[in-house]
């Protein structure tokens, strides 16, 4: 048959349609695949020797990964986008109308268009493979499930459960799919296709029967008032969560509603219209840009696979070291030695790890035996003995250059040359840390962010002599820990903290000028940041913020300045920010209650109520300015990884696509002009850098780049 789809019809009238895109790890609905499937469906409709058809994928662990994101990224014409959607809808409706039952045999990840063809099949069966996920993540890309997903899913599992999946762009486990009634059956992974064939044979000549949706769903959705309630609640929740910044979930909600209130055809119509508008809009383009950056960061790069880390150890069991050890035990299920000089630190680290596993237990992600097994993998020690057997050591001890230098000198002497020695330092130079050590090609930075279990980014830092094998092995290790690595070069603050310093400094200057804490943080929340800059300083720790501030101030004396009260901010031993319950804000049970009014007197400031709200761009533009310098200094390879690091490291709003992408959209000449004005009106520290001017002349950060 075709290149991608292969049909086989057995003597027992059971047909198998295999989806197998040559040369790719995943099946996607590319233009070619859609056209081929259209021809296949045309042929199938006229066959009278088929009793039941099974749709299978030949890709291990992967059923269908959905539509081709590149197609969506390219499209700029609304009518064309709508036409593309209608083509898919018609194709899946033709699939649904085939004159025999169809069975989607979902043996691996199934998302987006994959889930939509499965929904258009008569039956959907899943394997019990633990990593299997099935879902509709479209809204995460700023679009909506428009090949019938918004219309068919609520018909199968009820509006409440469907909205829960569609509006959050969720993917669920096979077991959950079976409980919700999304899957008609769940079979063991071993012998899956054997079970599928038995299931399918027994469906030949039978009319499909759907399960009821349960009493609760009936009560809620069975009458107009109940349905109104479901949609009203979902809309309010979505608007709160998205702060009105992400239009896709609301458009999806309207499409689901149209389909339920006015029938399938109206649902498809609403899907197509919304998809045309969303897919050609700036927000979807930005979200898809971030998605592609994430995808490329997942790849290993060319060449041989890097050495695999199998015997990791952690030095220092504090906030960061304890978190890293828990992650190794959890994600890699490897024994991990954790060494500290204080037994109390080890005990705290174990308690912290236990509390994280307990949370997973409560959420039913793991069971008790698994919890015990994973806890036992963490091997606390006060001794150096045993470290020799490690092939990787990550250091997370106190941020003090002399101490770190001695530790690396000692590790390098005692451990084999091949053992990778990584530092989680947040501000010290990797070259400096390794200065006294031998075989420095294996010394590298591996900068996790706090809290380790939640923050998705790891900066992998190459010193001047760090080998490529070392950075690649560490990047692969980070991926296996579930993190996204971004490769950066050694330099003060590396990438994220360097840019962040310019942002935080400007927030402090605004405070110094008389703006209130709430107004400054509000300006950035309204701009789309997950947290205001002063609240963030509390989160990081006022002591840590001030320390890093000083280090970076010394590194960039020509342009990074802080108000003289910086040290007073961290001067009181009990005012350390979130961790001590008091900082710029007051906290109760680690929750912020209010700004501490005493902060103004401590800093010697008097808020000026006559000031207009602070301009968010005043805090963003210094980062843009410094980003140009980071690129010029070769800290990071291009605006793409820089943008990814900012989105994952500080939560730069994904709907803006990243710092450089936002700046390009705003126009670099306009930004240069605004910085010039600020340099005149406010302070010369805000003057546009030569690097930024050059970038503006070149036509933008991304000019000539993907």
Distance CA 510, CA 589 (A): 29
- Candidate list 195, 289, 352, 447, residue with the active-site label: 447
The rounded distance, in Å, linking the Cα atoms of 459 and 498 is 12
Sole binder of ligand NAI in the list 393, 407, 443, 511 (CB under 6 A)? 407
Phi, psi of 109 (to 5 degrees): -50, 135
- Contact by Cβ (8 Å): 686, 672: no
Stretch that binds ligand NAI, among 82-90, 397-405, 646-654, 660-668 (CB under 6 A): 397-405
* Secondary structure (3-state) at 270: helix
Tell me how many residues contact ligand NAI (CB under 6 A): 25
Whose Cβ is closer to ligand NAI: residue 339's or residue 516's? 339
243 token code pair: 């702060």
Rounded to 10°, the helix 616-632/659-666 angle is: 110
Residue placing its CB nearer to ligand NAI in the complex, 51 or 380: 380
CB-nearer residue toward ligand NAI: 72 or 411: 411
Query: Does position 583 bind ligand NAI by CB under 6 A?
Result: no
Stretch that binds ligand NAI, among 16-24, 35-43, 432-440, 448-456 (CB under 6 A): 448-456
Residue 345 touching ligand NAI (CB under 6 A):
yes
The rounded distance, in Å, linking the Cα atoms of 309 and 330 is: 15
Sheet strands side by side (includes 392-395): 378-381, 336-339, 312-315, 392-395, 420-423, 443-448, 457-462, 484-489
Residue selected from 51, 88, 321, 654 as contacting ligand NAI according to rule CB under 6 A: 321
DSSP, collapsed to helix, strand or coil, labels residue 460 as strand
Short-list 513, 700, 490, 703, CA closest to 619: 513
298 — phi, psi (to 5°)? -75, -20
CB atoms within 10 A of CB 561: 17
Q: Residue 226 Cβ, how far from ligand NAI at the closest point, in Å?
A: 47
Residues 6+ apart with CB under 8 A from 242: 249, 250
Residue 338 in 3-state DSSP? strand
Stretch touching ligand NAI by CB under 6 A, among 11-19, 144-152, 262-270, 390-398: 390-398
Closer by beta carbon to ligand NAI, 339 or else 374: 339
Q: Is the peptide bond before 673 cis (omega within 30 degrees of 0)?
A: no
Closest CB 647 distance from ligand NAI, rounded Å: 18
Q: Does residue 498 bind ligand NAI (CB under 6 A)? A: no
Considering the rule CB under 6 A, would residue 320 count as an interface residue with ligand NAI? yes
Under the criterion CB under 6 A, does residue 394 sit at the interface with ligand NAI?
no
Widest Cα–Cα separation across the chain: 88
Least gap, CB of 570 to ligand NAI (angstroms): 14
Minimum CB separation from ligand NAI for residue 458, in Å? 10
Asked if residue 375 lies in contact with residue 329, where contact means CB atoms within 8 angstroms, the answer is yes
- Which window, 157-165, 354-362, 418-426, 649-657, contacts ligand NAI (CB under 6 A)? 418-426
**CB under 8 Å to 598, separation ≥6 — which residues?**
none
What distance in Å separates the CA atoms of residue 21 and residue 59, rounded to the nearest whole number? 9
Q: Which is nearer to ligand NAI, 45 or 341 (CB)?
A: 341
Give whichever of 411 and 672 is closer to ligand NAI, judged by the CB atom. Answer: 411
382 binds ligand NAI (CB under 6 A): no
Q: What share of the chain is helix, strand, coil (3-state, %, to 5)?
A: 55, 15, 35
Cα gap 93→101, rounded to integer Å = 14
For ligand NAI, which is the closer residue by CB, 119 or 430? 430
Residues between 322 and 341 that touch ligand NAI (CB under 6 A): 339-341
Of the candidate spans 42-50, 225-233, 394-402, 458-466, the one that interacts with ligand NAI by CB under 6 A turns out to be 394-402
Query: Cβ of residue 578: shortest distance to ligand NAI, in angstroms?
Result: 11
Which residue in 189, 399, 469, 512 binds ligand NAI (CB under 6 A)?
399
In the complex with ligand NAI, which residue's Cβ is closer, 536 or 644? 536
Considering only 83, 398, 598, 677, the residue that binds ligand NAI (CB under 6 A) is 398
**Of 62 and 488, which CB lies nearer to ligand NAI in the complex structure?**
488
Instruction: List binders of ligand NAI among 499-558 (CB under 6 A).
Output: 540, 544
Binding-site member from 61, 214, 281, 318 for ligand NAI (CB under 6 A): 318
Question: Is residue 424 a contact residue for ligand NAI (CB under 6 A)?
Answer: yes
Q: Whole-angstrom Cα distance, residue 184 to residue 496?
A: 47
* Nearest Cα residue to 498 out of 686, 400, 647, 627: 627
Compute CA distances 596 → 506, 533, 545, 675, whole Å: 20, 16, 18, 32
Residue 499 C-beta: closest distance to ligand NAI, Å: 15
Give the span between the Cα atoms of 496 and 501, in whole angstroms: 9
For the CB of residue 547, give the shortest distance to ligand NAI in the complex, in Å: 8
Under 8 Å between Cβ of 95 and 38: no
Q: Scanning the structure block, which residue is given the tokens 């800059």?
A: 533
Quote the least distance from Cβ 471 to ligand NAI, whole Å. 18
Check if 550 is active-site.
Answer: no
Taking the least distance from each CB to ligand NAI, the nearer of 198 and 384 is 384
In this structure, are strands 312-315 and 336-339 parallel, antiparallel, or unpaired? parallel
Q: Which of 223, 233, 296, 342 binds ligand NAI (CB under 6 A)?
A: 342
Site string for ligand NAI, 297-316 (x = CB under 6 A): ------------------xx
State the nearest-atom distance from the C-beta of 649 to ligand NAI, in Å: 11
Give the span between the Cα atoms of 327 and 312, in whole angstroms: 11
396 contributes a contact to ligand NAI by CB under 6 A? yes
Output 136 or 496, the one with its CB closest to ligand NAI: 496
Does 397 contact ligand NAI by CB under 6 A?
yes
The residues binding ligand NAI (CB under 6 A) are 315-321, 339-342, 345, 396-399, 407, 424-426, 448-450, 540, 544
Q: Which residues are catalytic?
A: 447
């Amino acid at each position: 048959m075709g290149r991608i789809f292969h049909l086989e019809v057995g003597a027992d009238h059971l047909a198998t349609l295999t989806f197998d895109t040559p040369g790719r790890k995943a099946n996607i609905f590319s233009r070619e695949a859609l056209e081929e499937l259209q021809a296949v469906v045309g042929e199938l409709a006229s066959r009278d020797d088929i009793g039941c058809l099974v749709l299978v994928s030949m890709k291990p662990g992967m059923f269908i990964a959905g539509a081709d994101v590149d197609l969506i990224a390219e499209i700029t014409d609304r009518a064309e986008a709508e036409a593309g959607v209608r083509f898919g809808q018609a194709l899946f409706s033709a699939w649904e109308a085939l004159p025999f039952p169809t069975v989607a045999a979902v043996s691996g990840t199934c998302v987006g268009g994959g889930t939509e063809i499965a929904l258009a099949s008569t039956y959907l069966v899943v394997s019990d493979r633990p990593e299997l996920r099935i879902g509709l993540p479209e809204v995460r890309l700023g679009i909506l499930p428009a090949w019938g997903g918004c219309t068919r899913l609520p018909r199968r599992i009820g509006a409440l459960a469907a909205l829960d999946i569609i509006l959050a762009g969720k993917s669920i486990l096979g077991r959950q799919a079976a409980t919700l009634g999304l899957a008609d059956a769940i079979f063991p992974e071993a012998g899956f296709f054997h079970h599928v064939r038995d299931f399918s044979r027994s469906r030949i000549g039978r009319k499909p029967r759907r399960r009821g949706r349960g009493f609760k769903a009936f009560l809620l959705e069975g009458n107009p008032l109940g349905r109104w309630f479901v949609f009203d609640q979902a809309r309010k929740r979505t608007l709160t969560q998205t702060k009105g910044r992400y239009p896709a979930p609301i458009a999806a909600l309207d499409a689901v509603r149209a389909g339920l209130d006015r029938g399938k055809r109206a649902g498809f119509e609403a899907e197509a219209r919304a998809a045309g508008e969303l897919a050609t809009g700036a927000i979807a383009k930005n979200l898809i840009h971030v998605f592609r950056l994430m995808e490329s960061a997942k790849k290993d790069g060319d060449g041989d696979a890097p050495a695999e880390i199998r015997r990791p150890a952690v030095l220092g069991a504090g906030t960061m070291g304890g978190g890293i050890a828990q992650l190794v035990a959890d994600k890699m299920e490897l024994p991990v030695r954790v060494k500290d000089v204080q037994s109390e630190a080890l005990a705290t680290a174990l308690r912290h790890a236990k509390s994280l596993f307990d949370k997973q237990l409560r959420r039913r992600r793991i069971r008790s035996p698994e919890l015990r097994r994973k806890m036992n993998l963490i091997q606390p020690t006060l001794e150096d003995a045993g470290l020799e057997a490690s092939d990787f050591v990550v250091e997370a001890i106190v941020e003090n250059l002399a101490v770190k230098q001695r530790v690396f000198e000692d590790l390098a002497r005692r451990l084999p040359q091949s053992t990778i020695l990584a530092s989680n330092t947040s501000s010290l130079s990797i070259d400096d840390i390794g200065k006294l050590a031998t075989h420095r090609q294996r010394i590298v930075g591996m900068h996790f962010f706090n809290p380790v279990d939640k923050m998705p980014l790891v900066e992998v830092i190459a010193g001047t002599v760090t080998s490529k094998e070392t950075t690649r092995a560490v990047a692969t290790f980070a991926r296996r820990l579930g993190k996204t690595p971004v490769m950066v070069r050694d330099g003060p603050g590396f990438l994220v903290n360097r840019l962040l310093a310019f942002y935080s400094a400007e927030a402090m200057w605004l405070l110094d000028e008389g703006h209130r804490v709430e107004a400054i943080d509000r300006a950035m929340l309204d701009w789309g940041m997950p947290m205001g800059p002063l609240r963030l300083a509390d989160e990081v720790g006022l002591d840590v913020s001030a320390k890093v501030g000083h280090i970076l101030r010394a590194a960039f004396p020509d342009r990074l300045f802080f108000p003289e009260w910086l040290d007073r901010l961290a001067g009181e031993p009990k005012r350390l920010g979130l961790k001590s319950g008091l900082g710029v804000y007051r906290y109760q049970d680690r929750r912020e209650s209010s700004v501490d009014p005493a902060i103004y007197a401590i800093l010697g400031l008097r808020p000026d109520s006559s000031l207009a709200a602070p301009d968010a761009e005043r805090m963003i533009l210094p980062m843009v300015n410094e980003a140009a310098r980071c690129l010029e200094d070769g800290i990071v390879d291009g605006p793409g990884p820089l943008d990814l690091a900012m989105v994952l490291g500080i939560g730069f709003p994904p709907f803006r696509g990243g710092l450089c992408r936002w700046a390009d959209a705003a126009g670099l000449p306009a930004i240069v002009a605004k910085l010039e004005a600020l340099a005149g009106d406010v302070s010369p520290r805000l003057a546009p850098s030569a690097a930024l001017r050059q970038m503006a002349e070149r036509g933008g950060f991304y000019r000539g780049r993907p």
